[in-house]
Amino acid sequence: MTNQDDVRSIRAALDSFEEHWSPRRLVSVNDYDVKVAKVQGEFTWHSHPDTDELFLVVSGSLVIQLRDGGGGGPVREVTLRPGEVFVVPRGVQHCPRADAETEIVLFEPRGTVNTGDTPSERTAQLRELD
């Protein structure tokens, strides 16, 4: 049996921090983490060789730049608005960008590093919500 303490609010979670590109674990489902993050500016080009990555926009607008064909191909862009979702397939190089602060939810296997196979100054340790 569950109780009200098991209920999580996406809004309350996003309101609990200010940092950009610093995901917080909202909940875990089987071997997946559901993360919330605030983003602004351009991230870093990276891929996740072993997993797909799901983006859901809560507020704002997110552009996901994609390089098909192993990174050497042309760049295409997918724009997501609130309530829209997109899955970046495993191994596809991508670079999220938000021109204004945007709030997102991510679904990723537990242990997925935010910068994938390209460590950088944007690599962040997954944090728990306070």
Please give the average per-residue pLDDT across 15-44, as a whole number: 96
CA distance 59 to 80: 10
Contact indicator for 32, 109 with CB cutoff of 8 Å: yes
117: left (phi over 0), alpha (psi -120 to 50) or beta: alpha
Of 1-5, 18-22, 47-51, 123-127, which range is least confident? 1-5
Domains of the chain in start order, with CATH, are 4-112 (2.60.120.10)
